[in-house]
Amino acid sequence: MNSIARIALLFLLLALTSGCAKKTLVALVPDPDGKTGSISVESAGGSVTIDTSYQATTIGDTKTQPSAPVQMAKETLDTIFKEALSVQPKQPFHFLLYFRQDTTLTPESAKLLPNIIATIQERNSNDISVIGHTDTLGSKEYNTTLSKDRASAVKKLLIKQGAEATAIRTTSHGKENPLIPTADNVSEPRNRRVEVVVR
């Protein structure tokens, strides 16, 4: 099997029994963000490319060419792959909170805190990352401290609204990983942020 472009979720290795013959079903479904890549399914008998969501092919044996792709309903694939889907880890939720200056959240970002708490509660999460960042204005030392302070401030706000302190892990990057690359000593509001990841 050869990956072409970006592979979305690939479901493989379903044995379909028909008398003594066994076939493997390969289906392509979108990523959690809705994007779909493409895959090439190959055997000694030939190859088939799938590049449309919810298309599938079957493979009989290594000498037979995979079948022509057919469109399948999402509900059908969900039923067929129910067991595989049930053991998949949930995708983490990412929230970006922006700051006016220092450790003061923008009003828009402050309004996101209840959504973060609701996600934590819905998932019963005990794995929450809070990562502080700054823009490039100021010294490396100043921004290292500021990014730590921002992460700590958000952690306190989350705890105040009901998150468990022991579930939250804080880290900070200072000005080293800007969301928007800039030259040094540039004020960029989108880089003054904390990322909250709820797993």
Tokens of 99: 């700051």
**pLDDT exceeds cutoff 90 at 62:** no
Mean pLDDT of 26-49: 87
**pLDDT exceeds cutoff 80 at 15:** no
Please, what is the angle between helix 113-123 and helix 140-160, to 10°? 60
Contact 197, 131 (CB under 8 A): yes
Please write the tens of the pLDDT for every residue from 164-198.
999 999 999 999 999 999 999 999 999 999 999 99
| Mean pLDDT estimate for the chain | 88
CATH says 93-198 is which class?
Answer: alpha beta
Per-residue pLDDT at 21: 58
SS3 141: helix
Q: Where are the domains of the chain?
A: 2-86, 93-198
Tokens of 26: 């390969």
Mean pLDDT of 31-48: 86
Q: Select from 14, 157, 22 the least CA-distant residue to 97.
A: 157
> Is the sign of the CA dihedral 150, 124, 29, 13 positive or negative?
positive
Residues of the chain above pLDDT 90, percent: 69
The structure tokens 């479904």 sit at: 29
